[in-house]
Structure 1
């Protein structure tokens, strides 16, 4: 049977969860898939677990690719995409899982001219509570419309719960020099090269929220803001880049600043590191910019304004929000 969808899974020390992730692929109600597990030099039993599942599967649909050196998730995804043979590519993290309707939902929404299908995901907190998180934007959009929607915070910027026509990756690759927000960069660029994008509200993926994830575990740096912003500006389809709305760029700059501050607060990073990003929001984003952002993403624009005026209050409110929303202990 021809391969319709290639799943790419970066793997690094995922021994506690990788079997669950792989079994969620095996549980799909379609068989026209392959799974490329890219081991990024794991030092635990991850590789042994995958090898045993490869042997048990028996149809050759699961392939284990070994990286010669640890290069991070972007390098691993590039290696997986390079080996993929499916018409479409989907991404699965080794600590997450697919819902059994993933492939059926994606296939039902693929049509001529549609290059990406975006579905919803379910977030699962450390306490085991699950809740769906659909995108604000819905329906059939052009590539440019989707870029604006994504940069304005109307689409989750994760790689998961999406399938991409594999030929899109002829135009770009994952920026393996970035340490944060590479998923935002790749999605924005992929949308810009797409003819049409279909967005649906059906959940197909379980995202396991973890306090030690990169979103919340790295000391903030201006590199987290400047790097992704430059990559999006330089990587967008040049035929569309000049048409992206000013509001979209304002929202992106605000998102990068606010999320970097938020991650530093949760991680308990040194105050001087967080304050450097606070200064960026205060000095580089005007109240007019943030008012513009509020029209697209009210919570984001208001967060930026609060950081400009009362950063200490923002810190308290944000940490309360994380504890309440994600059942975090901090």
Structure 2
């Protein structure tokens, strides 16, 4: 049978969750897929769990690829894409899972002239509570329209709950030397090379929120801000990069600063490292910039203004919000 969709799953020390993730692919109501599990030199028994499951299921569509060196999730995804044969590529993290309707929903919304389908995801808190998180815009957009919406915070930047024409990756790859926010970078660039993107409100993916995830566990650095910003600026399709709105760039700059500060606060990073990013927001983003951002993303623009004026108050409000939203006691 022809493989239509290739799932790429980076794996690093996911022994506790990888079986659940693989079984969520096996549970799809279509069988024209392949799953490439790319082990990034795990130090636990992750690969043993995967190999046992492959043997038990007897499913040749699940393949285990072993990296020779630990290169991080971007390198693992690039390796998976290189080995894939499907017309489409989708990404699954080893600690998450697909809903049973994933492929049916994506296939139903893919059409000629559409290069990416974006669906909603469900967030599951550590306490087991689930709630859907659709994107704030819906419908059929051009690639340029999608870039502006994404940079203005109207689309979730995650790789999950999306399906891409594999041919898009002929124009770019995952940046191996980027420390943070590679999802945002790759999605923005992929949108810029797309003819059209279809966005639908149907949840197809379960994102398991964990306090120890990379989103919240890395000590903040200006590299988290400057790296993604430069990769997006330099990686966008050159035929339309000059048409991206200034408001989009202002929103991206603000997003990177605010999210990096927020992650550092939740992780309990040293005050000096957080203060360096606070200084960036206070000095490099003017009130005019932030007012412009507020038009596109009110919560983001207001967060930036609060950081500029009362950073200690922002810290208290942010920590309260995260603990309440994600049922975290930390």
Q: Same fold (TM over 0.5)?
A: yes
Pairing 1:242–2:236 present? no
SS of structure 1 residue aligned to 2:93? coil
SS of structure 2 residue aligned to 1:7? strand
Segments of structure 2 that go 5 or more residues without pairing to the other structure are none
**Residue 263 of structure 1 aligns with which residue?**
263
Q: Distance in 2 between matches of 1:90 and 1:165?
A: 9
**Residue 148 of structure 1 aligns with which residue?**
148
**Residue 133 of structure 1 aligns with which residue?**
133
What pairs up with 1:113-192 in 2 under 5 angstroms?
Answer: 113-192=113-192
**Residue 76 of structure 1 aligns with which residue?**
76
SS of structure 2 residue aligned to 1:321? helix
What pairs up with 1:88-103 in 2 under 5 angstroms?
Answer: 88-103=88-103
> Deviation per CA, 1:40-70, whole angstroms, max 9, x where unpaired?
0011110011011111232310000000010
**Residue 201 of structure 1 aligns with which residue?**
201
The two structures, once aligned, show a CA RMSD in angstroms of 0.5
SS of structure 1 residue aligned to 2:239? helix
Q: Distance in 2 between matches of 1:198 and 1:174?
A: 22
Q: Distance in 2 between matches of 1:57 and 1:111?
A: 32
Structure 2 length-normalised TM = 1.00
Q: Distance in 1 between matches of 2:41 and 2:300?
A: 38
Residue-pair matches, total: 330
Structure 1 length-normalised TM = 1.00
Q: CA deviation at 1:179?
A: 1.1
Q: Distance in 1 between matches of 2:240 and 2:101?
A: 34
**Residue 284 of structure 1 aligns with which residue?**
284
Superposition misfits of 4+ residues, deviation over 6 angstroms:
none
SS of structure 2 residue aligned to 1:320? helix
SS of structure 1 residue aligned to 2:228? helix
> Deviation per CA, 1:204-226, whole angstroms, max 9, x where unpaired?
00000000011110110000000
Q: Distance in 2 between matches of 1:56 and 1:170?
A: 35
Q: Distance in 2 between matches of 1:115 and 1:20?
A: 29
Q: CA deviation at 1:73?
A: 0.3
**Residue 55 of structure 2 aligns with which residue?**
55
SS of structure 2 residue aligned to 1:239? coil
